[in-house]
Amino acid sequence: MYIDLDIKPETLAKLPKPSGYRVLIITSKTKEKTSGGVYLPDELRQAEDTASILGRVLSLGPDAYKNEQRFPSGPFCKEGDHVIFRSYSGTRLKVDGVEFRLIDDDTVQAVVADPSDYERAF
C-alpha cells in the first residue's frame, strides 16, 4: 500500500542533520488506489500518510546505536534501509512538500526489503 519516494538533490541539501541518537527518515506515501483498483480519497491518503509506519533511513545522528548496553547486537538499521517504526512517532517536518521524520533510534521496529508489501493495520 506504500510507495517509496525519490528525493531531489536540492531537497537533500536542505535536510537537517540528526543530532544525538536521532534517525532521519523519509516516510513512504500511500498509493492512490488499493490493490483492488479502488481510488482512495485525498483525505484518507493524507490521514494514512500522517499515521505512516514505513520509511527509508536517510541519515543517523552521531550517537545513534552507540550505547552498547541498549544495543548489544549493534544497530537496528543503516542508511538506505526501509524500516517500520511506531505510528505517529517522532518529529514530523516537510521540506519542499516532502514529509520527513526525526525519530529516536529505539523507535525502529523492523527492517523490510520492500515497503510496498506492507500496510498499516487498523
* pLDDT tens-digit series, residues 23-46: 999 987 666 666 677 666 567 556
Domain parsing of the chain, residue ranges: 2-115
Q: How many CB atoms are closer than 10 A to CB 90? A: 19
8 A C-beta contact, residue 5 and residue 115: no
The x, y and z cell numbers of residue 122, run together, are 487498523
- Residue 20 pLDDT greater than 80, yes or no: yes
Mean pLDDT in residue range 47-65: 83
What is the CATH topology of the domain spanning 2-115? 10 Kd Chaperonin, Protein Cpn10; Chain O (2.30.33)
| Residue 2 confidence class, pLDDT cut points 50, 70, 90 | very low
**Better-scored residue on pLDDT, 97 or 58:** 58
Q: What does the alpha-carbon distance between residue 28 and residue 81 come to, in Å, rounded to a whole number?
A: 12
